[in-house]
Chain A
Amino acid sequence: MTNHWTDLQNADVIMIIGSNAAVNHTVSLRWVRKALDAGAKLISVDPRFTRTSTQADVYAPLRSGTDIAFIGAIINYALTRDRIQREYVVAYTNAGFLLDPQYAFDDGLFGEMKNGAYTREHWRFQRDANGAIRTDPTLEHPDSVYQRLKRHYARYDFETVSRVTGTPVEKLREVAELFTSTHRPDKSGTVMYAMGITQSSHGTQNIRALSILQLLMGNIGMAGGGINALRGMPNVQGSTDHALLFHILPGYLRAPTAEDQSLEAYLARSAPTTADPLSANWLSNYPKYMVSLLKAFWGDAATPGNEFAYHYLPKVSGDCSHISLFEAMGRGEIKGLLVFGQNPAVGGPNATREHAALDRLDWLVVSDLWETETAAYWKRPGADPSKIATEVFLLPAAASVEKEGSLTNSGRWGQWRYQAIEPPGAAKSDLWILDRIYQSLKALYRQEGGAALPGPVVDLAWNCGAGDALDPQLVAREINGQFLVDRAVGDQSFRKGDQVPAFGLLQSDGSTSSGNWLFCGSYTNAGNLMARRRRSTPQDDPIALHASWAWCWPVNRRILYNRASCDPAGRPWAPHKAAVAYDWAQGKWTGDVPDGPWPPLRLPTGELNPTGRRAFIMLADGQACLFAPGLADGPFPEHYEPVESPVRNILSSQHRSPAVKLWHPQEVGDAADYPIIGTTIRVAEHFQSGGMTRNMPWLVELVPDNYVLISRELASLKRIQNGDRVRLKTIRGAIEVYAVVIHRLKPFRLGGRTVHEVCVPYHFGFMGLSQGAIANTLTPHVGDANTMIPEYKAFLCDLERVEGGAP
């Protein structure tokens, strides 16, 4: 989230798209309701009318996988009616940047491609002799980003988009009018989204489209604005912050690749540069964060002489995301697998293929509360355990309430929690389990010398205690970072062992450590700030920042990009809910922790302030990206059909995203055989792959079996009654579930055609108290062009009634 949960109450309009928040983020509705009670309006966009829709002022149906068309229609409406916050757009975005005149978009393609990837040759700006970007603040220049954006979305009129998304034209207009009402400077609108738009072959571009819309409305940085990802688990934000992904290091630093042959080369490729003296270009501090991270990893073994042990880091080659790993496993290239807090046998796409991949492992370690489907894949229905040679270890893990530690919520709040009860039986915390694995590995490397390079393992700085004295507080202290020598920074002096108070004080010379620069400031000499629990009152905190409740990265800033909530002279666009404001008399910002200490870009007189800085400090040029040249599949979001789609793309002749990799072209279903759209959904009563909830009797009681939601129209077409058993099949496999016939789901009318969609929960598997068919038997090994997140949300299927099916 750019903002945070309690901030939702500040919105004037809330659009929930690609999320069924009332079901999956139930408590968020508390804050949504507060906004509604104060007069806000709620828009719910979803293929079916959901529990979230019951609270909405406007419900708009849309066909799964067509979000860019939908959002594009709102963008086009805003641009053609001039319902944008022009002053914000000019001041804070790259709308006025002039594009390379050779940049072209033609019939669904953004220029030349080589080996399935764009060359990106002309996705760049015009620069003068000094390297400065040429701009046109009037936004009139035909090469300006603004004019190109306008031209790009001109095709997204309501009538055309309605034929793509299946949303009635009048609903599109209603949504567009309502949401663009937030273009007024004193209004803010927020977007809540989740897996409904990320799990797509163009998921990144779905979110880009929302970002463009929010920038045009001037909603980024505002209280009650922003773009807010509702993360899927209590600590999924923390797990990405701390780099449980292959392509990053903690704090979203880039994972080195084979091209980064030295620390210097790595830093040169990572730290952005700018020719603009008014751009803060915050990431020019990259070397400080990287060196401090290496010092946290390897302590005294990281010295200036060995490039701070940079060569201990593995260099990533290629794509190591979930689908790639399982493909490699299926080819027998991966021999062992450690699985912590995950159940890929249920949660991974193309379950049949992934189960077969597990069959080829030599060993598998699963650490979980229960024997999950992943731990038990070798005894899945239809498998012959005598033919599976994998050695499986099941480690009993402690649940979150049985151990101490931090959870970082969607709003970036690191919240410390205590151990409430002892874990049952032999169950242990993740820290204990990882420590034991590490200590054993280290002993083995010491004894046997190990492979070519034992250093990365034996030299690790392991500052979290040992055995029974393992202490998560020590981990948190290390993540924050410490001064490693006595030294002064500016007019402040620090002693060796002091906690670093903020990442602005981290150093690139090895005199500081920090396990994650974003969390620097979370655990200072004053103590563990994540453990704070002081609430504020509406009187002293009218926009509910709750600055003394837990701790929020970065530097306890609750609203990212908050300087953009003011005009360029530091006056809030919406004074009644100001996130920050600049006090010229005192020469400082008030309100939330501002996005950088610099004064505003302009003086109260309107003149340029040479000591001021641009608002979007994390971008090299300081201006938010309407045009974003960094992605694999285009600088503007463009509608493409999901990889499996029952209809032709009517916006261009490019049917699916050209940058998408198809693992198994023979496994792409044809609409002639599989005419119905399938999508996977969730219920409030079960969590993720059901590993916990399907073993919880009170929850199993509520939703005991898997099912599929079918419209009344499709049910009558297929002669299916509510409660029948039905077989749902794709080119990859078939499952049997109960049919739930509802009228909250309607067929989509696309021009003259009617297209049906069905929705199936993905929580079920063959273990636990309640069992049901694995929905991911149906989903494909297809991922987003940028992130490789699987396309769970749109695939082609067919269904039939099972005669005499099991009751």
Chain B
Amino acid sequence: MSRAVLFDSTLCIGCRGCQVACKEENRNPAEVTKFFAAPGGYQNPPALSATTFTLVTYHELENAWGDPKWAFVRRQCMHCLDAACVANCPVSAMQKAEDGTVFYEQAKCIGCGTCVSVCPFGVPVLELREPGPRVWKCTFCQDRVSHATVPDVLNEGRSTPDVLDQPKKARHLAARRAPACVAACPTGALKHGDRDALLAEARGRIQQHPERYVSHIYGETEAGGTAWLYLAAVPFGDIGLPTRFEHLPDAPHESATFGAWPPHMLGLGALVGSWCWYARRRERVAAAEPSDAEERAPCSPPT
């Protein structure tokens, strides 16, 4: 099964419980932030970072009658099906797991930054530090999900009329089998499961409420398809998501980051291989790109 998460932004209330749950799960420290003039003044930290793998951004819009609308969007690794970072990593530090996770192995990483420069969503963050470089991004809670257990505390009897029962354990286990952000969401805006099943569900939601959604599942085809699937009430470009992927950097050997590293550290074979893959992939992505006509435009950004 290929894991996926469906993010229905129309159900999101921007509470950022997912953002904090992500910090907690990954034991990531807080960043020292300052107020900055982001739309709505809410967004913080300003961007994904070595200690922020999930970020909610706020988007003020209005409809044709000038009534306010307000949309909330998540940023995190999209766990692409054919991930550019995986294909281009010269040392296979980025890999695609069977369950769909794009995961990272620090031991192999040479800190070349290819993953940073080829990511169509601008997600991975490279930290050049001692003893070795490290790339940070959403782990898809692979460890949490694959090792989900009921903590001992739930197995202990309590001196109450109602000892914790089997359904309680089952519910707890179900929550542990989902990424931390999904388990934290109070409104069901996040749903974790099999990608094909979630795609079907997303199509169903659009069909049932055509007045509510733009008729497109973001991530079904974007960047060749991603494990994160988004639904929205407004065109995805209006809420800051890339909708065209031609601005991707060209072949990895032209990347500036590479210049900083001695060529002997980069396997020539890997270079050639990734360049070939990348060229093929660009063709596939271009073919699968949704046309503008598919997106209705009930809203426009405020002027």
- A interface vs B, CB < 8 Å? 22-23, 26-27, 29-30, 33, 49, 51-55, 59, 416, 418, 526-529, 531-535, 548, 684-685, 697-705, 707, 709, 721-723, 738, 740, 742-744, 746, 807
B residues less than 8 Å from A702 (CB atoms): 16, 19-20, 33, 44
Q: How far is the CA of A54 from the CA of B37 in the complex (A)?
A: 22
Chain B 190-228 interface 0/1 with A at a Cβ cutoff of 8 Å (1 = within): 000000000000000000000000000000000000000
Q: Which of B23-31, B75-83, B173-181, B236-244 contacts A (4 or more CB under 8 A)?
A: B23-31
A residues less than 8 Å from B249 (CB atoms): none
CB distance from B259 to the nearest CB of A (A): 34
A residues less than 8 Å from B72 (CB atoms): 51, 54
B15 near A33: Cβ-Cβ < 8 Å:
no
Known pairs A701-B30, A703-B42, A723-B35; A33 contacts B187 (CB<8 A): yes
Q: How far is the CA of A527 from the CA of B160 in the complex (A)?
A: 7
Known pairs A26-B186, A30-B187, A526-B161; A51 contacts B70 (CB<8 A): yes
A residues less than 8 Å from B42 (CB atoms): 703
CB distance from A618 to the nearest CB of B (A): 29
Which 8 pairs, one residue from A and one from B, show the smallest C-beta to C-beta distance? A723-B37, A740-B41, A697-B30, A531-B160, A705-B35, A22-B13, A701-B30, A49-B68
A55 near B158: Cβ-Cβ < 8 Å:
no
Out of A49, A698, A746, name the residue touching B20 (CB < 8 Å). Answer: A698
B20 near A51: Cβ-Cβ < 8 Å:
no
A722 near B41: Cβ-Cβ < 8 Å:
yes
A26 near B19: Cβ-Cβ < 8 Å:
no
A743 near B187: Cβ-Cβ < 8 Å:
no
> Is B168 in the interface zone, CB < 8 Å from A?
yes
A528 near B41: Cβ-Cβ < 8 Å:
no
Report the nearest B residue to A25, measured CB to CB: B186
Q: How far is the CA of A23 from the CA of B168 in the complex (A)?
A: 28
Report the nearest B residue to A22, measured CB to CB: B13
Out of B15, B165, B168, name the residue touching A51 (CB < 8 Å). Answer: B15
A704 near B44: Cβ-Cβ < 8 Å:
yes
Known pairs A531-B158, A744-B68; A26 contacts B45 (CB<8 A): no
CB distance from A694 to the nearest CB of B (A): 12
A534 near B165: Cβ-Cβ < 8 Å:
yes
Out of A526, A548, A742, name the residue touching B40 (CB < 8 Å). Answer: A742
How many Cβ-Cβ contacts under 8 Å join chain A to chain B?
123
B residues less than 8 Å from A529 (CB atoms): 161
CB distance from B244 to the nearest CB of A (A): 27
Out of A33, A697, A742, name the residue touching B60 (CB < 8 Å). Answer: A742
Report the nearest B residue to A746, measured CB to CB: B68
A532 near B40: Cβ-Cβ < 8 Å:
no
Known pairs A59-B67, A533-B164; A703 contacts B44 (CB<8 A): yes
- B interface vs A, CB < 8 Å? 11, 13-17, 19-20, 23-24, 29-37, 40-42, 44-45, 60, 62, 67-72, 158, 160-162, 164-165, 167-168, 186-188, 302
Out of B17, B31, B167, B188, name the residue touching A701 (CB < 8 Å). Answer: B31
Known pairs A29-B187, A723-B36; A738 contacts B162 (CB<8 A): no
Q: How far is the CA of A296 from the CA of B19 in the complex (A)?
A: 48
Q: How far is the CA of A393 from the CA of B165 in the complex (A)?
A: 45
B residues less than 8 Å from A723 (CB atoms): 35-37, 41
* Additional pairs, 11, CB under 8 Å, beyond known A684-B14, A709-B41: A26-B13, A51-B15, A54-B69, A54-B72, A55-B13, A685-B16, A701-B33, A704-B34, A705-B35, A723-B37, A723-B41
Q: How far is the CA of A587 from the CA of B197 in the complex (A)?
A: 50
B residues less than 8 Å from A55 (CB atoms): 11, 13
A residues less than 8 Å from B20 (CB atoms): 698-699, 702
A sample of 9 inter-chain contacts (CB < 8 A) reads A22-B14, A527-B161, A697-B30, A699-B20, A702-B44, A704-B32, A707-B35, A740-B37, A807-B34
Known pairs A701-B31, A742-B41; A532 contacts B15 (CB<8 A): no
B160 near A698: Cβ-Cβ < 8 Å:
no
B residues less than 8 Å from A27 (CB atoms): 186
A26 near B31: Cβ-Cβ < 8 Å:
no
Q: How far is the CA of A534 from the CA of B158 in the complex (A)?
A: 14
A residues less than 8 Å from B29 (CB atoms): 697
Report the nearest B residue to A48, measured CB to CB: B68
A701 near B35: Cβ-Cβ < 8 Å:
no
B residues less than 8 Å from A722 (CB atoms): 37, 41
CB distance from B250 to the nearest CB of A (A): 36
Q: How far is the CA of A725 from the CA of B135 in the complex (A)?
A: 37
B68 near A704: Cβ-Cβ < 8 Å:
no
Q: How far is the CA of A740 from the CA of B165 in the complex (A)?
A: 49
CB distance from B225 to the nearest CB of A (A): 28
A residues less than 8 Å from B30 (CB atoms): 697-698, 700-701
A535 near B167: Cβ-Cβ < 8 Å:
yes
CB distance from A704 to the nearest CB of B (A): 5
Q: How far is the CA of A22 from the CA of B13 in the complex (A)?
A: 6
Q: How far is the CA of A703 from the CA of B302 in the complex (A)?
A: 24
A residues less than 8 Å from B70 (CB atoms): 49, 51, 53-54, 744
B residues less than 8 Å from A51 (CB atoms): 13-15, 70, 72
Known pairs A26-B13, A534-B162, A704-B34; A33 contacts B41 (CB<8 A): no
A701 near B45: Cβ-Cβ < 8 Å:
yes
CB distance from B195 to the nearest CB of A (A): 23
Q: How far is the CA of A100 from the CA of B37 in the complex (A)?
A: 61
A29 near B45: Cβ-Cβ < 8 Å:
no
CB distance from B78 to the nearest CB of A (A): 23
A705 near B34: Cβ-Cβ < 8 Å:
yes
Out of A26, A30, A416, A742, name the residue touching B188 (CB < 8 Å). Answer: A30
Q: How far is the CA of A55 from the CA of B8 in the complex (A)?
A: 12
Known pairs A701-B30, A701-B33, A743-B68; A532 contacts B161 (CB<8 A): yes
B162 near A532: Cβ-Cβ < 8 Å:
yes
A33 near B188: Cβ-Cβ < 8 Å:
yes
CB distance from B158 to the nearest CB of A (A): 7
Known pairs A531-B160, A532-B162, A684-B15; A744 contacts B35 (CB<8 A): no
CB distance from A386 to the nearest CB of B (A): 33
Q: How far is the CA of A395 from the CA of B176 in the complex (A)?
A: 38
CB distance from B62 to the nearest CB of A (A): 6
Q: How far is the CA of A685 from the CA of B42 in the complex (A)?
A: 10
Out of B24, B37, B71, name the residue touching A698 (CB < 8 Å). Answer: B24
Q: How far is the CA of A743 from the CA of B31 in the complex (A)?
A: 29
Q: How far is the CA of A742 from the CA of B24 in the complex (A)?
A: 31
A54 near B168: Cβ-Cβ < 8 Å:
no
A residues less than 8 Å from B17 (CB atoms): 26
A residues less than 8 Å from B67 (CB atoms): 59
Q: How far is the CA of A30 from the CA of B13 in the complex (A)?
A: 11
B residues less than 8 Å from A707 (CB atoms): 35, 41
A residues less than 8 Å from B14 (CB atoms): 22, 51, 54, 684
B residues less than 8 Å from A23 (CB atoms): 13, 15
Q: How far is the CA of A738 from the CA of B188 in the complex (A)?
A: 33
Report the nearest B residue to A548, measured CB to CB: B162
Report the nearest B residue to A524, measured CB to CB: B161
Out of A548, A697, A698, A743, name the residue touching B302 (CB < 8 Å). Answer: A743
Q: How far is the CA of A529 from the CA of B17 in the complex (A)?
A: 31
